[in-house]
């Protein structure tokens, strides 16, 4: 019987550091973080320096009992310039990471792009660039041919809808825009990137699987009425179905497409040849990230607006208004974290049950689940993060319950392996099982209470 995988996750820009080392080119995040648009002035130039600490970090995963590690490859490390010349030093780094995983029998789960497009793609429009899917497919083919089935689990793109929302609705990730039409084109191009990369993957007949990692859990309503159910359906389309339907079923829901057209969103970029490629190239598994649910109600008034709390200064609410579709609702009895995000562990159970109903028995990995907090260390650097332990324990309870009820859940990854750069939240918002002391130039690693809890939990729940 195939064993359930227990592990943790990171992403290239957030943990590697070494931003200009060994032939690496710039990514859009390098450009953004070094620009005046980055008002906080905080960068991922060094972060926790996984590039030079990977042996220590992977050893600590193994000592925790973890059997899988999810990480991403920096596109800019492999193809630093638009001339498509491979940077062999970039490959060597990831070869070494994979060798270390093999040494400890840790299964690698590897994402091709986790927000960090190369600058030469960003300069041509990023996810809006008409040839981004062809560029991505080329990059993917280079990676597949080099690593082959040394990587058993490949992921094309991390969190398409969240990436698109931050970049083109909230406007807090590069290119920092607020434009619904650009959001739509971004989503479409990501769907095409996924399909064209899978087409390259299938050519090689590898002993490996390929999937996509999705951010949003399902949508909930607080009032059971037809009007609210329509808002719930609209939200499901907007944050889930727009990516999951083509990725898993090979097509966009026809009613969803009608709704998009009724909203006067430009779809001139869609063509029949693309739709045929989508139809023929679907994923083997789904990565589902688990943080919170989406509570919605019928749209009332106002322009499209997405609000996030990146300050962490009190429980200001996250929320959305999507004109003509839905808007956020709030259950005031629910606990919030410091960044205004509702803590509702059962959301992942509801999500998994609905995924099964919509998409059958597709294998699902919970590719991220974690709790951001202002960790407070004692004089020895030790963090007693009981709130993180409670969060993870409660989410895992509902995940295993869904598994018991027939959902095809294959693994679980804590976000994150160690403390790392949390995008525009910088370094104050901590997620790691392992603390990184950023005040010490050696960047020492100190396991938190949650690390030891997870170690015991894995021992007790090896399935």
Residues labelled catalytic: 159, 368
Burial 108-134 (b: 16+ CB within 10 A, else e): bbbbbbbbbbbbbbbeebbbbbeebbe
Nearest-10 Cα torsion for 143, 147, 153, 158: -30
**How many CA atoms lie less than 13 Å away from 130 in the CB half-sphere?**
4
Show the tokens assigned to 412: 């679980």
DSSP letters of 221-247?
-SS-SHHHHHHHHHHHIIIIIHHHIII
**How many CA atoms lie less than 13 Å away from 17 in the CB half-sphere?**
13
The residue count for the chain: 463
Radius of gyration of the chain (CA): 21
DSSP three-state, residue 206: coil
* Distance between CA atoms of residues 406 and 399, nearest Å: 11
Reference 201, options 88, 283, 128, 269; nearest CA is 283
* Distance between CA atoms of residues 20 and 80, nearest Å: 10
* Distance between CA atoms of residues 445 and 422, nearest Å: 17
Question: Residue 250 CB: number of other CB atoms within 10 A?
Answer: 17
């Amino acid at each position: 019987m195939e064993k359930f995988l227990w592990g943790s996750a990171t992403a290239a820009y957030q943990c590697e550091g070494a931003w200009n080392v060994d032939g690496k080119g710039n990514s859009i995040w390098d450009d953004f973080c070094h620009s005046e648009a980055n008002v906080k002035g905080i960068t991922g130039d060094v972060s926790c320096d996984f590039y030079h600490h990977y042996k220590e970090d992977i050893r600590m995963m193994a000592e925790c009992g973890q059997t899988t590690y999810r990480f991403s490859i920096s596109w800019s490390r492999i193809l630093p310039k638009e001339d498509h010349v491979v940077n062999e030093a970039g490959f060597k780094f990831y070869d070494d990471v994979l060798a270390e995983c093999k040494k400890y029998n840790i299964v690698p789960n590897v994402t091709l792009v986790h927000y960090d497009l190369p600058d030469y793609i960003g300069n041509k429009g990023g996810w809006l660039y008409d040839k981004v899917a062809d560029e991505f497919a080329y990059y993917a083919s280079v990676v597949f041919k080099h690593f082959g089935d040394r990587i058993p689990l490949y992921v094309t793109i991390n969190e398409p809808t969240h990436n698109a929302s931050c970049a083109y609705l909230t406007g807090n990730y590069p290119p920092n825009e607020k434009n619904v039409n650009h959001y739509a084109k971004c989503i479409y191009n990501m769907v095409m990137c996924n399909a064209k990369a899978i087409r390259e993957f299938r050519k090689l007949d590898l002993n490996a699987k390929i999937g996509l990692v999705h951010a949003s859990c399902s949508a909930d309503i607080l009032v059971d009425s037809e009007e609210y159910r329509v808002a719930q359906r609209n939200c499901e389309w907007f944050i889930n179905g727009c990516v999951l339907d083509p990725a898993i079923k090979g097509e966009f829901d026809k009613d969803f497409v009608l709704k998009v057209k009724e909203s006067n969103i430009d779809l001139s970029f869609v063509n029949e040849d693309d739709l045929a490629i989508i139809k023929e190239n679907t994923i083997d598994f789904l990565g589902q990230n688990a943080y919170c649910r989406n509570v919605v109600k019928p749209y009332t008034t106002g322009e499209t607006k997405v609000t996030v709390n990146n300050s962490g200064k009190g429980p200001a609410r996250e929320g959305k208004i999507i004109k003509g579709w839905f808007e956020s609702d709030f259950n005031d009895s629910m606990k919030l974290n410091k960044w205004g995000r509702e803590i509702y562990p059962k959301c992942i159970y509801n999500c998994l049950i609905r995924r099964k109903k919509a998409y059958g028995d597709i294998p699902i990995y919970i590719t991220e689940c974690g709790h951001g907090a202002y960790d407070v260390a004692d004089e020895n650097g030790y963090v007693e993060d009981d709130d993180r332990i409670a969060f993870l324990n409660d989410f895992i309870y509902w995940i295993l319950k869904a598994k018991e009820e027939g959902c095809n859940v294959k693994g679980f990854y804590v976000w994150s392996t160690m403390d790392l750069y949390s995008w525009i939240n910088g370094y104050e918002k901590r997620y790691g099982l392992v603390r990184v002391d950023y005040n010490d130039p050696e960047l020492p690693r100190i396991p938190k209470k949650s690390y030891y809890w997870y170690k015991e939990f894995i021992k007790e729940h090896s399935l």
